[in-house]
Amino acid sequence: MDHMPSDLEKLGREMMVKCGGLPLAVIVLGGLLSMKRKTAQEWRRVLENIDWHLIHAQDHVSAVLALSYNDLPFHLKSCFLYLGLFPEDSSISKRKLIHLWVAEGFLPQQGEEVAEGVAENCLNELVGRCMIQVGKLSSLGSLQAVRMHDVLRDFSISKGREESFLEIYRGQEIELPTSQRTKCRRLAIHGEHDNLYVFLKPYAPYLRSLLFFNMGDSKLEFDFKDFKLLRVLDGVPASSRAQSAVGNLIQLRYLGVLMKTHMVTNDPPRSIEKLKNLQTLEVTNFINLCFPDVSWNLKNLRHLVVNNQVAAMDSRLHLLNNLRTLKWVKGGRWLENGSLASLTNLRRLKIRPLGQQELNSVVSNIERLHYLESLSLVSNSRAPSFTLPTAMSLSHLKYLHKLHLDGEIKKLLDPHHFPPNLIKLRLFNSDLEEDSIVKLGRLPNLKMLLLGSDSYKWPKLVCSSSEGFPQLHILHLQDLHKLEELIVEEGAMKKLKHLKIYQCPRLRKIPERFKLLT
């Protein structure tokens, strides 16, 4: 580590004293300084811009937060304040947050970079500035979710109210007069409440975002015809009346719908065909789901996500040529007309083909999805397992780094037929041949391997010494009921950091050589 110049060290120590030993103040101030040039002039300006002549310790924290907030570019201020809408101690999905920010239009255009990429850069900058916390990392260390410290959240809510940016309703009477409340552009409803429309009506003509959290079994027995400027509607429990009126929200960019088993219809509202600006449609449901034909008029749709179940698609999916995310969809007629091959902007695909013929169709169409980053092919648990085609090749998909295959593999692809930059591989029900481990060991960039239920049915699993798995950091062995012995020869798996063994009842020990791993 380079030695810090004495003038900077002196200024740093002065700032530490002013923080009064409060960890949050130190952390946030450190995040601010990390964005500044390491010059005495820059650091002195930070020191002088805080009103340290405050009495209470908590005011010292507030002063540091205010300075850090004021230092943010305008678009980052909006991104930071938006986090205040989420409930206390929330784990906030990175992808969801990015889609919300894009829908709100917070982000500046940066050359040819797509909006989601700009949003991710903004999120990383807020983390770097210590304005938000890392909530959850993936197995390979990438950011999956963020959290907000209680004090920072309180600050964002206070500042958001001051700037008419947001308001939160928990059932309490909001003290602001109606004339001032209507200036608020974003509103979060926390918990179950009666007569919500009476409360919401003054806000309706002005709102840009309306988010519902922890609604339980509440129903919204009113339509949304008064919410003409709404860009984001999330967490809405979809009563039949609310569904029928969604089409009135012509400015909507993000729609998140909760669909429950007690609903009369299983399907999203047909009125969504009017939502020409819709970018993200996320449906959380506990029933079988079928999207109506009219859904395919949504030419600007970029992300179609179904949580908890698998949705049936219509044959005109190919019309959604801006689609970047397609998760948890069934096969069906739409696979027969080459719709999948038309979705050339897809980045993430999670699909359940209905049988062997559809799987073959998916595999033959994937070759045109040049920008694909994540692919999951999942067999139907209620139907016979399909077999992945022997001639399958993914070597042209240079951006594909995550692959999940659930189905029998008669003969594993040769290493040169795998995506060249594959980092993460998950296999289930593969029934691999014994020598398949040698092939997997030759994948040059593989960092994580999960061998799941019935993927490997041999008593010995041998990783040979010929430099096998040169980059592997994580190995998961799960539900391998016939595995008795794991052998890792010298020279193999030299970079292994995490080993997880789950439900492998016959496996008695791990290799002695693992003791030597640093």
Q: Is the pLDDT of residue 237 over 60?
A: yes
Beta-bridge mates of residue 14:
none
Residue 516 neighbours by CB distance under 10 Å: 9
Number of domains into which the chain is organized? 2
What is the residue-wise DSSP string for 48-94?
Answer: HTS----SSHHHHHHHHHHHHHHTS-HHHHHHHHHGGGSPTT--EEH
Asked, for residue 317, whether it belongs to a domain, the answer is yes
Asked, for residue 382, whether it belongs to a domain, the answer is yes
pLDDT above 70 as % of the chain = 81
Q: Is the pLDDT of residue 328 over 50?
A: yes
Q: Is the pLDDT of residue 233 over 70?
A: yes
Q: Is the pLDDT of residue 171 over 70?
A: yes
- 298 vs 266, more confident: 298
Asked, for residue 7, whether it belongs to a domain, the answer is yes
- How close are the terminal C-alpha atoms of the chain, in Å? 23
Asked, for residue 402, whether it belongs to a domain, the answer is yes
Q: H or E stretch including 423?
A: none
| Per-residue model confidence (pLDDT) at position 238 | 65
| Per-residue model confidence (pLDDT) at position 334 | 74
Note the pTM of the prediction, 2 decimals: 0.85
Q: CA 257 to CA 285: how far, in whole Å?
A: 8
Q: What average pLDDT does the segment 168-192 reach?
A: 76
Report the mean per-residue pLDDT for the chain. Answer: 82
**Among 66-70, 314-318, 342-346, 389-393, the least confident range:** 314-318
What is the residue-wise DSSP string for 290-305?
Answer: E--GGGGG-TT--EEE
Beta-bridge mates of residue 426:
404, 450
Q: What average pLDDT does the segment 111-128 reach?
A: 88
Domain final position from 20, 39, 71: 71
Q: Is the pLDDT of residue 101 over 70?
A: yes
- 362 vs 445, more confident: 445
Q: Is the pLDDT of residue 469 over 90?
A: yes
Q: Is the pLDDT of residue 166 over 60?
A: yes
Q: Is the pLDDT of residue 30 over 60?
A: yes
Q: Residue 314: how many CA atoms within 13 Å on its side-chain side?
A: 15
Q: What average pLDDT does the segment 390-407 reach?
A: 89
- 183 vs 209, more confident: 209
Asked, for residue 44, whether it belongs to a domain, the answer is yes
Confidence bin at 165 (pLDDT 50/70/90)? very high
| Per-residue model confidence (pLDDT) at position 182 | 65
| Per-residue model confidence (pLDDT) at position 54 | 41
**What are the tens digits of pLDDT across the range 342-396?**
889 999 999 888 778 888 888 888 888 999 999 998 876 655 566 877 777 889 9
| Per-residue model confidence (pLDDT) at position 57 | 46
Domain final position from 42, 71, 100: 71
Q: What average pLDDT does the segment 309-315 reach?
A: 63
**Among 19-23, 83-87, 447-451, the least confident range:** 19-23
**Maximum mean pLDDT: which of 45-54, 65-74, 90-99, 261-270:** 90-99
Among 220, 272, 214, which Cα is nearest to 242's? 220
| Per-residue model confidence (pLDDT) at position 288 | 62
Beta-bridge mates of residue 404:
376, 426
Confidence bin at 503 (pLDDT 50/70/90)? very high
Beta-bridge mates of residue 485:
460
Asked, for residue 106, whether it belongs to a domain, the answer is no
305 burial (CB, 10 Å; 0-12 / 13-18 / 19+) is buried
Confidence bin at 20 (pLDDT 50/70/90)? low
Task: Kindly provide the residue ranges of all beta strands, DSSP E only, lying in 139-225, ordered along the sequence.
Answer: 143-147, 167-169, 186-190, 209-213
pLDDT above 90 as % of the chain = 37
Domain final position from 422, 457, 489: 422
Confidence bin at 277 (pLDDT 50/70/90)? very high
Confidence bin at 247 (pLDDT 50/70/90)? confident
| Per-residue model confidence (pLDDT) at position 150 | 83
Beta-bridge mates of residue 198:
none
| Per-residue model confidence (pLDDT) at position 410 | 78
Asked, for residue 400, whether it belongs to a domain, the answer is yes
**Among 96-110, 197-211, 255-269, the least confident range:** 255-269
Asked, for residue 184, whether it belongs to a domain, the answer is no
| Per-residue model confidence (pLDDT) at position 353 | 82
Q: What is the DSSP letter of 414?
A: P
Domain that holds residue 347: 310-422
